[in-house]
Amino acid sequence: MSVPKEPLRVGVFGMDDRARTTLEMYLQGPCKNRAVVAEAAAAQISIVDMDGLHAKTILAKEKQRHPRRPIILLSLAVQEEPDTIYVRKPIQVQRMASALDQARRVLDSGNRKPRGNGAAAGQRGSKSTVVVATRPKSLSSVKKAAHRTAMLLNENSYFALVGSMPDIDPRNPLQLKSAYYDPKQFLQAYVQSAVKLAFSKKRILRLNTGWKPIMIFPHSREVWVDADDKQLRAFCVVPINTISNVDVSGSSMSGISVTPVRQMPTEAGDPEKLQSVDAFLWKLALWTSAGKVPRGTDLNRPVYLERWPNMTRFVVTPHALRIAALLIEQPRSLLNIAEVLRIRQQYVFAFFSAARALSIAGQVKTPATGSKPTLLPSQKRKRSGVLRKILKRLVGR
């Protein structure tokens, strides 16, 4: 899909100043300058945030003022408004790009009513509502890093990437020590903190580490980094204080910073370097941990898995599905999982480290003496006979 030479002028309605600024940078950067935010009177198309309190009123007024102007609606829920183009939140590059291209075609045809031409019509919307919710075929090669299918690793390929670790005897202090790593000494901890900050502030942030800049887009849940997986693997295992003036034992972080992105760098317009936040954090933790667990984890205390990871998009390590199935069934200690499944501890440790980086795994609080470990609500539910059979087959019991 070619990028128009002249960007569309869009009027933005129903957004506060921060959301408006974020959208402006999003259009300039990830959307490769397809559109620019303009004053309402000079706009060619309108973008309305339908999740606001007075969104319906704002939309009605906009239709009345500019009856022939294409309108793009942003919302978490499917919108059933006629003569509009709907983009589902969280906004992703290919959805917004397709919506803008659809609006341009409407302008070129001189007809305000949106028609198909590559966008998917919403089944629950009116017939004249265009729902941009799937990736157009013409963008099938775009954002391959963010949307590629899972990388499946067998034991040989896993060892080639992270190395082999022997099982430990937890009674041996020296061996026990070798099972741990400290995320704060590596890139992982700083990316996690920056992602958390970007999401809480709902602002595009840039993490500067002395390596390559990492930009975080909270509204689309994506990160941008000019590096492939091989470069990321090589860098994420290097102690951060060797490249940045960071005192990991204290609060000094003079060599590392998180700054708001006020003007999008031109190189950030390359959508192929965008990745989903979850997939990025997952593999970052896998490479950094190298089959170890974060410091402070009790190998003998049960851990839980809150929900299934999105294995269709993640790097899948050996026996990951079996480990997930066992943990979904009930909390278990990491050593117990390896023993029950008869697999290397390294695989269990790596899976837990990655799941914990996504905040979907953790350690069960120590129960009172004589009481049973507390299960999560999802683990208390009775499972159907079919699900039980699936779990048993995955676990091999």
pLDDT at 118: 35
pLDDT at 288: 94
How confident is residue 278, by pLDDT bands cut at 50, 70 and 90?
A: very high
pLDDT at 139: 34
Q: What is the DSSP string of 256-273?
A: -EEEE-SS--GGGG-GGG
pLDDT, tens digit (0-9, with 9 covering 90-100), for 306-318: 988 887 778 888 8
Query: 89 vs 245, which has greater pLDDT?
Result: 89
Q: What pTM was computed for the model?
A: 0.62
pLDDT, tens digit (0-9, with 9 covering 90-100), for 68-102: 899 999 988 888 788 899 998 878 888 888 899 99
Q: 167 with 159: CB under 8 angstroms?
A: no
Q: How far apart are CA 193 and CA 207, in angstroms?
A: 10
Percentage of the chain lying above the pLDDT 90 cut: 37
Q: How far apart are CA 354 and CA 151, in angstroms?
A: 15
What domains sit in the chain, N to C, each tagged with a CATH number?
8-139 (3.40.50.2300), 144-395 (no CATH)
pLDDT, tens digit (0-9, with 9 covering 90-100), for 95-125: 888 899 999 998 888 765 554 433 333 333 3
